[in-house]
Structure 1
Amino acid sequence: MKSEGTRRWASDLDAVVVYAQGALCSRVARGTVPPDGTVRVAGLPRTMDPDSLRAKVLGTGGARVTGVRVEVEAQPSGTDSADALRREMERLRDISAAARARRDRHEGLITEVAALRPVPPARRREDPHRTTPVDAWLRLADFVDHRLTHLHRRLGELEEELRLADHEFEVALDRWSRASTDVQSAHVHTSVCAVLTLDGSGDVELELEYGVPGAVWVPTYRLAHRQDEDTGSLVLRASVAQRTGEDWTGVRVALATADLRRRTDLPRLRSMRVGRRQAVPAPSGWREPPAGLADLFAGYDAAGPRPEPTGGPVASAGGFAPGAVPPPPPAPQMYGMPVAAAPMASAGGPGAAPEAFGGAMPDAARTVGSRPGGGAGPTARSRRAAAPASLAPAAPGRAAPPPPPPGAAPVTAGPPRPSDAELDYAALLLRGPDVPADGRGRLFPHAPFDAVAVEYRRRAEAVVALPLPGHAVRPRESAGSFDHRFDAAARADIPSDGTWHTVTVTEIPVGLRTEYLCVPAVEQTTYATLVLSNATDQALLAGPVEVTVDDEFLLTAALPTLAPGDVRRMGLGPAEGIQVTRRTNLRESTSGLRGNTTVLDHRVHVELANRLARPVTIEVHEQVPVTSHADVRIEERADWVTPEQGTGPDSPAPGTRVWRVDLPAGGGAALDGGYEIRVPAAKAIVGGNRRS
């Protein structure tokens, strides 16, 4: 409702925090507090969650926010950008269709001219043979050739006109289909505003915070590295897509990996029974009304009736429009109230307002209920009549309910039994003083705020199914069990079009060194790698990274997740300047007193050659077999080392051995290693002993 003293304040979107799914927006409004302290802050999107709205006064002034609620307004829209784009698309579609029709008619004319042939007159049997007029044939051929030349030249012009018309139509169609959802397409413009009640005076600055669905982000990076340095510059960027219904223009952007819709219910232990299995009784959900509930609103009633509004919005398109008085707005839900202190009661019938928790609804809302088992139950009036008098107090000035009608179902003694909807405590709403007296202070199922807004939010959720860029990983998948937040260094513009937009967040210093990896037993190729170390206090999430070495773009690779202080290796592809050759030799013999032990002697020879103009460090990986049999022994003869066994996906496999070699520019090295496998003669290796 809007009174004469209500002031309307404009608001500007100032900051947005994009979570794994959804976003938290902050708007700023400034103005002078009116005498009655009631102001309207406009500009809120239709997709916002009304239960997430919060408001506070910025600064250290004496004013404070004492109440906030959400209202929807409707008014005739002026110029409609979406309709203009649609009309332009339809106009260009007609132009393209006309150009195609002209081209088709011209092609038909070319076909007709090309089909011209000389047709001699019919010859009768008694007529002699005639001489063919060659000049007429040649004149016809010249005419056809000259006409086709002109027609084909014109056909080329029409083809070009059609190509341009089709291109303009495709551009207009793409612009119309990808138009920002911030543009209203209906002739009636509906808007959401926050109605605030302020306690104080003077000029104040308000901050409104609300949550919206339809926003996702994935991290991307750009890495600049020089080969003669051990540090690099890693620029964190984010690909953000949003379809929240409002364009983010010049806002401070922050990115978080947390789940905006995480669960908040507390865990609860259940009893453990030993013996015959017993069904767990369902909680009744009913609580006795708290003592003194009627006295809670005595001061409100003593203040007298509220003044009648002079004008208000009328319901239109899921909202309100000026011209009529709307129903009283729902009181804000009170968070943190213990469920045990809130009265609860039975379920109402389908299609009717349910009975209040701990008391009854007004007479107009009492309907036949249904039991959890699905059968028809007694009416709310009969249930209250059968319940003890202390459980169903009568409203002041209201007559006692009549006895149940004849033929009604028998009433079961005991407390009422709420339905599943009424046991959903997070969806219940605590009624305020504006409802009838017998519904005050009691919990009721909270119906959707706005059916049109629900449809807006459903469409906004479609951005979650947007295909990810190459090598991109959802932040919830790469963040693990920890949550991180990244604040962008500058303001950004992100339109509400449901496509990916790149935002530069910050620059992160990382430690870098170039190493080379070779696994000659698998492939005799050396691969260049970058060893990254994260010395900051923030994690680096997995995502695509554009690698630039010595100011030259190298490739786009997949950056793994780096926790604070973590060191990971990232592959850059084969290094053609380093050659590797591997040769193996196997000898089988016997040993022991009676030759009862088979000895398999494996020899490995690896040669490395560096053809680069700089020294390099190479890791050569080899593998030694492992055994769990006590009779089988493995003896190693090499100067390689055993790497540390980790638990991550990049941890080396059991039996991995590593050579680390520093090669000068143009130099080489030879590595020799091996191992012996001693197997009892009565046993053999699965697959045969003579294997490399």
Structure 2
Amino acid sequence: MTAGTERTTGTAGTATGTPGTWGSALDSVVVYAQGALCRRLARGAVPSDGRVRVTGLPRTLDPGSLRARVLGASGLRVTEARIEVGAEPLDTDDGSRDALRHEVERLRDAASAVRGRRDRQLGLIAEAGGLHPVAPARKRDDPHRRTPVDAWLELADFVDARLAGLHTRLDELEEALEHADHAFDVASDRLARASDDAPPAHVETTVSAVLTLAGDGSDAEAEDVELEVEYGVPGAVWVPAYRLTHRQGDGTGRLVLRASVAQRTGEDWTGVRLALATADLRRRTDLPKLRSIRIGRRQEAPAPSGWREPPTGLADLFTGYEAAGPRPLTAGGFAVGAAASAPAMAGDTGMAVGGAAPGSYPPPSTGLPVPGGAYGAAPDAFGGAGSPDFAPPRPAAPGLARTARPAFGGPPPAHAAAPAPAPPGGMPVPPPPPPVPGPPQPSADDLDYASLVLSGPDGPGERRGRLFPGTGVDAVAVEYRRRAEAVAFLPLPGHAVRPRESAGSFDHRFDAVARVDVPSDRTWHTVTVAEIPVGLRTEYVCAPSVEQTVYATLVLSNATGQALLAGPVEVTVDDEFLLTAALPTLAPGGVSRVGLGPAEGIRVTRRANLRESTAGLRNNVTVLGHHVHVELANGLKGPAAVEVRERVPVTSDPDVRIEEDADWAAPDDGAGPEQHAPGTRIWRVELPAGATTVLDGRYEIRIPAGKALVGGNRRS
């Protein structure tokens, strides 16, 4: 770590005083395989106390990744960097996620109301459709009556007119419901894609970096200083993509590297310098330390960096507190007054035992010392029980040994006052292990001075007045980071491959040539990174034994010093989009072939003849002679390089021989863009425009009579 850089390793803290507040702007972002490293710039005049608060940091940042340094030769450096979290109410929610959420709820209610009117209209249509004439019941002795046809017709006309009006209204309601559902779907999609940079509630949470600047003793209060704050955030992923532009007849092309970036870091990346890396942001990069093995007299281990002996006379700090007298108690044994409502200190257990006040610790009735210490490996060095400045235990207040903490100012219970309970079986309690000799070995939490908490006078005797690591966990920040990491499970675009899978054991970095914008909306955004110089040539490939069609291909060669990662490539030929193919990983100097589809301007035909005969002194060898005849015709306007592929049989039997008589050649798999099957033979022909060529190849299969199968040696 440089002299102008300070790293924090603890949790968020709260700064005292009122440091100068500087606004910051996001300048650059490096997106790794998962996660990102952001850099913000802030400028202002340093106050007299040298303390500056830099605002604008996201809620998802990792506190352990915070770094800050002073840009330029100003003679100042950062000596302390801490995270401070604050909250303040919002005046308006226009354009925020809260406003979008209200709009979605309003449109949902509107669509529900229209749907209710539509359902009522369907009920009216069902009622009107159910109207039909019903003849009165006729008794056995009653004569037949004439049917009132006019009344029946009038009822039918009424029903038809009623249904016509109801169906017209139903069509209007169906159209209104369709529009309401569409508006609701659009608003829901906008809410789902809305940026996380806007606060989700009426209270805005602000995260700031509180920095302490120090110089060489000169007055830097009015000096204009520029700071750089760097921090890591989860919730950012990227995959590579490419665009290939080619013109027929031209031996060159343009390969543009693009990237699909998705992030949910809680802040919009607007106008930032973007870089993409394949490395793992969370991988440890510190080198292991190999301790030397020496033969001879034992040497003391060196003291840890930043550790020092505790000051003497800590027990005298609480003499006035103890002389204040006993704490007033209620009938139930709870302390009253301001001291009873004080929160629990870091040394308290946080649990009420019996009638003890919340935050008090239980009396040590087991007779064992209370666990913990400034550095648990060596309690003596930090004023523990063996230290000369350790405060001696005091007798417990009468009547409160089992139900309450010591009274206000009263002596705490002695560790030896209550005997240890006998273990089952009558076995004696083993004594505690002796302390490890030598200097203490503090952990990373013990050396995180920003998160150490001072134990108050109500703590155990060996903890009072000493610093201990804080146990508070920012659950809100943990939840923010958990939601941000969900962006890693987004479905990938077509043909996309994650960088860690295609990069292999090497790491690469690609810097964008221009500033880009990537909102925090959990969706993929395509940004242009740079144009990559590649070698490009057009080749035509055909395998007439499989299909008598010629295919056009582009052969790419990586002419850069870094690998091209696997990903989708959009091929554009003559300013027209052709297809999207999958580009494999190309190491520096690697070659790959991209297919463009059938080439209608080149025709190929193939004929094969088989002639069976015998050879040898006794005609004991069967000879299968194959003749392959291929014709090519170039109908393009320019010359074409055509690769014709054939296959000859391969054998592992030394008695079976295969003899070739052709001008074809075996492919060189080490230098070509792809691997070939065993027995592949290749013709490479340069055809001028309108030219025709003929290719002939022969090979014989010689099989001894003892190896032959009756009726099984013929080949088509």
TM-score category, normalised to shorter length: 0.7 to 0.9
Alignment partner, residue 480 of structure 1 = 504
Q: Is the partner of 2:449 in helix, strand or coil? A: coil
Question: In the alignment, which of 444, 447, 452 is matched to residue 430 of structure 1?
Answer: 447
Pairwise CA distance, 1:39: 0.9
Alignment of 1:455-534 (within 5 A): 455-534=479-558
Q: Is the 8 A contact 1:633 1:679 kept in 2?
A: yes
Which deviates further from its counterpart, 71-80 or 547-556?
71-80
Structure 2 Cα separation of the partners of residues 508 and 620 of structure 1:
31
Pairwise CA distance, 1:186: 3.7
Q: Is the 8 A contact 2:309 2:381 kept in 1?
A: no
Alignment partner, residue 258 of structure 2 = 237
Alignment partner, residue 55 of structure 2 = 42
Question: In the alignment, which of 646, 652, 657 is matched to residue 628 of structure 1?
Answer: 652
Q: Is the 8 A contact 1:603 1:673 kept in 2?
A: yes
Higher Rg of the two aligned structures:
2
Question: In the alignment, which of 179, 183, 187 is matched to residue 164 of structure 1?
Answer: 179
Q: 1:47 to 1:107 in 2, by over 3 A?
A: same
Pairwise CA distance, 1:398: 0.8
1:681 aligns with 2:708: no
Structure 2 Cα separation of the partners of residues 638 and 439 of structure 1:
93
Pairwise CA distance, 1:134: 3.3
Q: Is the partner of 2:706 in helix, strand or coil? A: coil
Structure 1 Cα separation of the partners of residues 377 and 567 of structure 2:
65
Which deviates further from its counterpart, 234-243 or 474-483?
474-483
Q: 1:392 to 1:579 in 2, by over 3 A?
A: farther
Structure 1 Cα separation of the partners of residues 22 and 620 of structure 2:
96
Question: In the alignment, which of 52, 77, 100 is matched to residue 64 of structure 1?
Answer: 77
Say what the alpha-carbon RMSD is for the aligned residues: 4.2
User: AA paired with 2:78?
Assistant: V
Which deviates further from its counterpart, 562-571 or 15-24?
562-571
Alignment of 1:281-680 (within 5 A): 290=303, 295=308, 380=371, 394-395=386-387, 397-399=389-391, 405=420, 407=422, 409-411=429-431, 428-432=445-449, 450-646=474-670, 650-680=674-704
Q: Is the 8 A contact 2:555 2:673 kept in 1?
A: no
Pairwise CA distance, 1:580: 2.7
1:215 aligns with 2:230: no
Q: Percent identity?
A: 66
Alignment partner, residue 132 of structure 1 = 147
Which deviates further from its counterpart, 2-11 or 249-258?
2-11
Pairwise CA distance, 1:481: 2.6
Which consecutive residues of structure 1, in runs of 5 or more, have no partner in the other structure? 271-286, 305-323, 330-347, 353-362, 370-376
Q: 1:152 to 1:668 in 2, by over 3 A?
A: farther
Q: Is the 8 A contact 1:231 1:509 kept in 2?
A: no
Q: Is the partner of 2:135 in helix, strand or coil? A: coil
Length, aligned pairs only? 612
Structure 2 Cα separation of the partners of residues 648 and 446 of structure 1:
62
Alignment partner, residue 326 of structure 2 = none
Which deviates further from its counterpart, 503-512 or 86-95?
503-512
User: TM-score w.r.t. structure 2 length?
Assistant: 0.76
User: AA paired with 2:150?
Assistant: D
Q: 1:451 to 1:390 in 2, by over 3 A?
A: closer
Pairwise CA distance, 1:634: 2.1
Q: Is the partner of 1:143 in helix, strand or coil? A: helix
Alignment partner, residue 27 of structure 1 = 40
User: AA paired with 1:510?
Assistant: V
Structure 1 Cα separation of the partners of residues 44 and 493 of structure 2:
44
Q: Is the 8 A contact 1:222 1:546 kept in 2?
A: yes
Q: 1:567 to 1:429 in 2, by over 3 A?
A: farther
Q: 1:177 to 1:424 in 2, by over 3 A?
A: farther
User: AA paired with 1:75?
Assistant: E
Structure 2 Cα separation of the partners of residues 118 and 685 of structure 1:
91
User: TM-score w.r.t. structure 1 length?
Assistant: 0.78
Q: 1:389 to 1:14 in 2, by over 3 A?
A: closer
Pairwise CA distance, 1:25: 0.4
Which consecutive residues of structure 2, in runs of 5 or more, have no partner in the other structure? 1-13, 292-299, 318-340, 352-359, 394-414, 423-427, 456-461
Structure 2 Cα separation of the partners of residues 687 and 569 of structure 1:
42
User: AA paired with 1:123?
Assistant: R
Structure 2 Cα separation of the partners of residues 462 and 124 of structure 1:
79
User: AA paired with 2:264?
Assistant: R
Q: 1:5 to 1:456 in 2, by over 3 A?
A: closer
Alignment partner, residue 74 of structure 1 = 87
Pairwise CA distance, 1:446: 8.6
Structure 2 Cα separation of the partners of residues 532 and 477 of structure 1:
21
Pairwise CA distance, 1:366: 13
Pairwise CA distance, 1:204: 0.5
Query: For residues 168-200 of structure 1, what are the alpha-carbon distances to aligned partners after superposition, in whole Å with 9 as ceiling and x for unaligned?
Result: 111222222333222322444322211100114
Query: For residues 346-390 of structure 1, what are the alpha-carbon distances to aligned partners after superposition, in whole Å with 9 as ceiling and x for unaligned?
Result: xx9x999xxxxxxxxxx9899999xxxxxxx997589x9999978
Structure 1 Cα separation of the partners of residues 372 and 101 of structure 2:
56
Q: Is the 8 A contact 1:367 1:380 kept in 2?
A: no
Question: In the alignment, which of 283, 288, 299 is matched to residue 262 of structure 1?
Answer: 283
Q: Is the 8 A contact 1:431 1:443 kept in 2?
A: no
